[in-house]
Structure 1
Amino acid sequence: MNRGSSRKKIAVIGSGFSGLSAAAYAAKSGNEVHVFEKHPQPGGRARQFKTETGYVFDMGPSWYWMPDIIEGFFADFGFKVSDFFKLVSLDPQFEMVFSEEKVTVPEKNEDIRELFEKIERGAGKKYDKFMQSAQFKYEVGMKDFVTKPCYNWFEFASLKIAGSAVKLNLLSDFRKYVSGYFADPKLRSLMEFPVIFLGASPQNIPALYSLMNYGGYVLGTKYPMGGFYQLVLAMKEVAEKQGVTFHFNHDVQKINTENGKVNSITANGKDYEFDAVIASSDYHHTETLIPKSLRNYNDAYWKTRTFAPSCLIYYLGVKGKIPHLKHHTLFFENDLDNHVDCIYLNKKWPSKPLFYACCPSKTDPDVAPEGCENLFLLLPLAPGIHDEESLREKYLREMLGRIEKHTGETDLISRIEYKRSYCVSDFISDYNAYQGNAYGLSNTLSQTAVLKPKIKNRKIRNLFYTGQLTVPGPGVPPSVISGKIVGIEVSKLKIK
């Protein structure tokens, strides 16, 4: 196709956070943008569903961290977060349960500092020093480092980034870095837990990612009233205000190419012509939609990648309140490394798992019927693992038993009036996720920046990729950034 102008007709495959972001930025640049989504609603992994009895479940993300990055998306289009939904700050931010005690992390940074000092003498000053360094990494990392398209290393040759290389701790491992500050195992766990969802053991993650501690603890843990899905709806509205058209229940089956260019996509058996395509669908799956000879990566490549975890999720509607359960609770009674080894080394169901419980009805009365609780349980697992129903149920009972022990409640299973599980096979069927991964590629040093799968196809000049399998990586704010990077890059493309 050739329209004889810089205005392009662009298809975006998938409406997760990266797809919504890419669509909005591409349209803002003056392009005609169409989003194709296989599901009847936007959001991808961040979809939401409601039950007839009044429960409202966010299906995926629940930690609203790095609020400034999300606010930055809306500011780019002349809006504020508050134009679309109410964001509240959680106090406490979360609770971490250990075998003999629990640690409750307060809302205010100065109170967290006092908590650290109370647990370990001298740790308050060390916390300040840790967060001062983490703030520097956050401001350079999230504003400069992760905003590059990562075609090559020369993009990082700016004086600011090059001069900051040592202070960014790119070559230090996160575990050693944390242990250099804190001796108490509880404090180390508090600092290490945010990187678990980056997809690797803390000893395999660059210390750069202490920026997450700043983006979470110091900037605070937020919650959008109405659920995390409010962010999806707000981004969709922003995209529509730029002129983006959405096509729901449209499954893209093929990306059609000719002479090194995409000329159309096939969705629901019908061909649609486009000047360029942005795929926010699973990277590996996207490449199955084009001939093998035109793919960036073969199957052998994907088999050698380190993937972030998959997970077992339960969405539960519980009759009656659970007074001693917080909005966010991390159950760390067992050894972290044992569970991590089950994900990355042994590829098996953990015998002594850690898990996470989210109870948004503590903050938001509209997500559960009056007098009831909305409970979201998540247990990280190895991608590609077998997940039959009996195994899911076994782990549900274990998680409920540990919640009972923590809260003093009894027989929670008899109080469940709604139950739905979601696991590896569901990630595959719903999102075409490679091996059912939930969080994309691990942010290990060998899979960082230029070493991640490229955002542009090397053999098809107008096919781009965005999302958690490319730069900058997993998580909601990085996915929003990924969409911005690609939305801007595709707009630079010249039509021939």
Structure 2
Amino acid sequence: MSKSIAVIGSGFSSLAAACYLAQNGNRVEIFEKNDSLGGRARRFKEKGFTFDMGPSWYWMPDVFERFFGDFDKKPSDYYELEKLDPGYQVVFEGGETIEIGDSLDKIYKIFDKEEENGARKLKKFIENARSNYDIAIKDLVYKPGVSPLELVTPKTITKLGEFFSTVDKDVEKEFKSEKLKQILKFPVLFLGAKPSETPSFYNFMNYADFGLGTWHPKGGFHEVIAGMVKLAKSLGVKVNTNANIDKIIVENKTAKALEINGELKSFDVILSGADYHHTETLLEQKHRQYSKAYWDKKVFAPSSLLFYIGFDRKLDNVKHHNLFFDVDFNEHAKDIYTTPKWPEEPLFYANFTSKTDPSTAPEGHENGFFLVPIAPGIEDTEELREEYFNKIMTRFESLTEQKVQKNIIFRKSFCVNDFKEDYNSYKGNAYGMANTLLQTAFLRPKLKSKKVNNLYFTGQLTVPGPGVPPALISGKLVSELIEKN
């Protein structure tokens, strides 16, 4: 039977869920608090530059294909993809670089050059990562996190030990080169948790990286959002911006309506893709599932200090994606997770989409996106932002052997306070909840409220976890739960 369904937020999980629910004949309406769509994947343009505000790594293309395939569409119906070569470069102390090419054969050669038998070791490591990827994508991540039995399949039983070892142990055991170790550990550090606290099973991210490659949607990552919005509207989804949710109305333990910009609107089902913790604050205390103590105990993925920069010249010695690992990897991880504070010497990441996509900057110019992973919930001031801008730009100039600060014609920053203000993000986190053993699958906050009927959740704080592909999957999972009830 057709239901009227409100979807709070317009990020990847919200848009995915809206598409599935509308496809099933429901009347779906999206409410986005900001003036543009996409959640953390918003875009803005300034002085001829185009900036993606959040996600920039297009990994796991098979998940995007599966999503659009569910509607008899293809990603190419909405945006054009280019496989990057190199996928990214890593910059070490002294400006030494390692490029991660667009094929395993190229990457094997790099590993052999850096370490004796490096290719042989990597082949063994990647075969296991590939096996884990197949199990994760086919058996695990498309499960709704309702029961621990979801983790028990003939394939996962053979991998049981990998939930109790860690990515850090596996990499340290196999490789000697510090550079190669950092490259293998980076996907989990930048996307959710310390490698020493991430189950070995999550090394499937290395197969996503090396085996499937790094891609770029022409025009920027927001083109994926634009494609999803187009699909949603074609399915009949109504979209509202500048629509702030003040309250979720509950009667007889059932979600009945939303208070939107001071006005009430009734629905049969309410689904929130907004921050999970924030969504529960829209309920009376008695209807909330999780206490302050619950959230305080959880391990959150990093927040970020971001800079969006327009340069009036082309830059040298940089690729589309660049990781700057010229300082101590483990010390920065400690400053995020162990004793949360601003890092003394931060690792950072920078992308310049204009290197491969001229449409994202004026001719002869470069657009730069700089990211420093930081602990969520720490102090955020303009003075700190300026201090860290100077830190990373001084190192950037030294490592890439060029003076560029005088060529900056546009600069905007975004940090903890902005994540809270724009996304109601708990502690200003950027990526959601970390993928530790005790925060995996059924141990994450639930897709369906345990206290309020017809109230559901989706996104990076629930199943299956942080990242864009998991957000698409989360939208599918919650839509299936709604259809069952």
The TM tier, using the shorter chain, reads: over 0.9
Deviates more, 1:367-376 or 1:93-102: 93-102
Partner letter of residue 447 of structure 1? Answer: Q
Structure 1 residue 450, shift from structure 2 partner: 0.9
Partner letter of residue 49 of structure 2? Answer: Y
Choose from 2, 7, 13 the match for 1:12: 7
SS of 1:253's equivalent in the other structure is strand
Partner letter of residue 144 of structure 2? Answer: P
Q: 2:30 is matched with which residue?
A: 35
Assess if the C-alpha contact under 8 Å between 1:20 and 1:235 holds in 2: yes
Matched, 1:363 2:356: yes
Q: 1:445 is matched with which residue?
A: 437
Choose from 345, 348, 361 the match for 2:341: 348
Deviation string 1:104-142 (CA, Å, 9 cap, x unpaired) is: 111111110111011111110111111111111111102
Deviation string 1:382-439 (CA, Å, 9 cap, x unpaired) is: 11111111111111111111221122111x2221100000000000000000010000
Assess if the C-alpha contact under 8 Å between 2:159 and 2:201 holds in 1: no
Partner letter of residue 54 of structure 1? Answer: G
Matched, 1:178 2:171: yes
Matched, 1:386 2:379: yes
Q: 2:147 is matched with which residue?
A: 152
Write the distance in 1 (CA, Å) between the matches of 2:83 and 2:399: 24
Q: How does 1:42-57 map to 2 (within 5 A)?
A: 42-51=37-46, 53-57=47-51
Q: 1:265 is matched with which residue?
A: 258
Q: 2:427 is matched with which residue?
A: 435
Structure 1 residue 148, shift from structure 2 partner: 0.8
Q: 1:487 is matched with which residue?
A: 479
Partner letter of residue 77 of structure 1? Answer: F
Assess if the C-alpha contact under 8 Å between 2:83 and 2:215 holds in 1: yes
SS of 2:339's equivalent in the other structure is coil
SS of 1:474's equivalent in the other structure is coil
Deviation string 1:2-57 (CA, Å, 9 cap, x unpaired) is: xxxx2111110000000001111111122111111011221000000001x20000
Q: 1:83 is matched with which residue?
A: 77
Write the distance in 2 (CA, Å) between the matches of 1:158 and 1:329: 38
Deviation string 1:304-328 (CA, Å, 9 cap, x unpaired) is: 1111000100000011111211111
Write the distance in 2 (CA, Å) between the matches of 1:248 and 1:164: 47
Partner letter of residue 457 of structure 1? Answer: S
Q: How does 1:25-424 map to 2 (within 5 A)?
A: 25-51=20-46, 53-100=47-94, 101-161=96-156, 163-166=157-160, 169-410=162-403, 412-424=404-416
Write the distance in 1 (CA, Å) between the matches of 2:234 and 2:45: 27
SS of 1:471's equivalent in the other structure is coil
RMSD: 1.1
TM-score for both structures, normalised by structure 2 = 0.98
Write the distance in 1 (CA, Å) between the matches of 2:103 and 2:390: 35
Structure 1 residue 155, shift from structure 2 partner: 2.4
Deviation string 1:199-244 (CA, Å, 9 cap, x unpaired) is: 2210000111111111121101000000000000111111122211
Matched, 1:455 2:447: yes
Write the distance in 2 (CA, Å) between the matches of 1:401 and 1:71: 41
Deviation string 1:263-288 (CA, Å, 9 cap, x unpaired) is: 11111111111111110000000000
Quote the sequence identity (%).
46
TM-score for both structures, normalised by structure 1 = 0.96
Write the distance in 2 (CA, Å) between the matches of 1:226 and 1:380: 25
Q: 1:3 is matched with which residue?
A: none
SS of 1:458's equivalent in the other structure is coil
Assess if the C-alpha contact under 8 Å between 1:387 and 1:424 holds in 2: yes
SS of 2:79's equivalent in the other structure is coil
SS of 2:206's equivalent in the other structure is helix
Partner letter of residue 296 of structure 1? Answer: Q
Deviation string 1:340-368 (CA, Å, 9 cap, x unpaired) is: 11111222111111000111110110111
Write the distance in 1 (CA, Å) between the matches of 2:221 and 2:311: 20
Assess if the C-alpha contact under 8 Å between 1:334 and 1:352 holds in 2: yes
Assess if the C-alpha contact under 8 Å between 1:292 and 1:298 holds in 2: no
Write the distance in 1 (CA, Å) between the matches of 2:332 and 2:420: 23
Partner letter of residue 286 of structure 1? Answer: T
Deviation string 1:51-85 (CA, Å, 9 cap, x unpaired) is: 1x200000000000001111110011011111111
Deviates more, 1:139-148 or 1:367-376: 139-148
Structure 1 residue 143, shift from structure 2 partner: 2.1
Assess if the C-alpha contact under 8 Å between 1:55 and 1:374 holds in 2: yes
SS of 2:67's equivalent in the other structure is helix
SS of 2:71's equivalent in the other structure is coil
Question: Structure 1: 5+ residue runs without aligned partners?
Answer: 1-5
Assess if the C-alpha contact under 8 Å between 1:265 and 1:272 holds in 2: yes
Partner letter of residue 237 of structure 1? Answer: K
Partner letter of residue 485 of structure 1? Answer: L
Write the distance in 1 (CA, Å) between the matches of 2:234 and 2:134: 30
SS of 1:22's equivalent in the other structure is helix
SS of 1:376's equivalent in the other structure is strand
Write the distance in 2 (CA, Å) between the matches of 1:95 and 1:281: 33
SS of 1:147's equivalent in the other structure is coil
Assess if the C-alpha contact under 8 Å between 1:262 and 1:276 holds in 2: yes
Write the distance in 2 (CA, Å) between the matches of 1:222 and 1:486: 27
SS of 2:278's equivalent in the other structure is helix
Partner letter of residue 67 of structure 1? Answer: P
